Amino acid sequence: MKIEDAVTAVTSEANALLSCLGQPVVAYHVTAIMREADREHARRMQLALMRRSVEALVDDGLEDDAAMHFAAQFDGRVDSTWQLLHAVNGATH
């Protein structure tokens, strides 16, 4: 899997987030996360994006619970895609 494919996979169902943050902003952050080889650093970057995502979704009119649910789903896609991208012999680094 290439980074571009990973970003596309992660953002393909994130229309609400792409709408309120903007596609370039989301793509930039997801690309940076996918490029980060260090798992702990990538996770910290991911958590920061999730916090920003919840804030943006709430600012855009979603209820807190709905925004957190959406962000949790997005977080799962980012995490699983990062793991696929960085899998080496069945293990992530």
Tell me phi and psi for residue 4, to 5 degrees. -60, -40
Question: Are the C-beta atoms of 7 and 30 separated by less than 8 Å?
Answer: yes
At 88, the pLDDT band (50, 70, 90 cuts) reads low
pLDDT at 54 over 70: yes
Q: Which residue, chain included where needed, has tokens 């970003």? A: 7
At 89, the pLDDT band (50, 70, 90 cuts) reads very low
CA distance 91 to 87: 5
pTM value is 0.87
Question: Are the C-beta atoms of 16 and 57 separated by less than 8 Å?
Answer: yes
- pLDDT at position 14, please? 87
Neighbours of 53 (CB within 10 A): 25
Q: Is 86 helix (H, G, I), strand (E, B) or coil?
A: coil
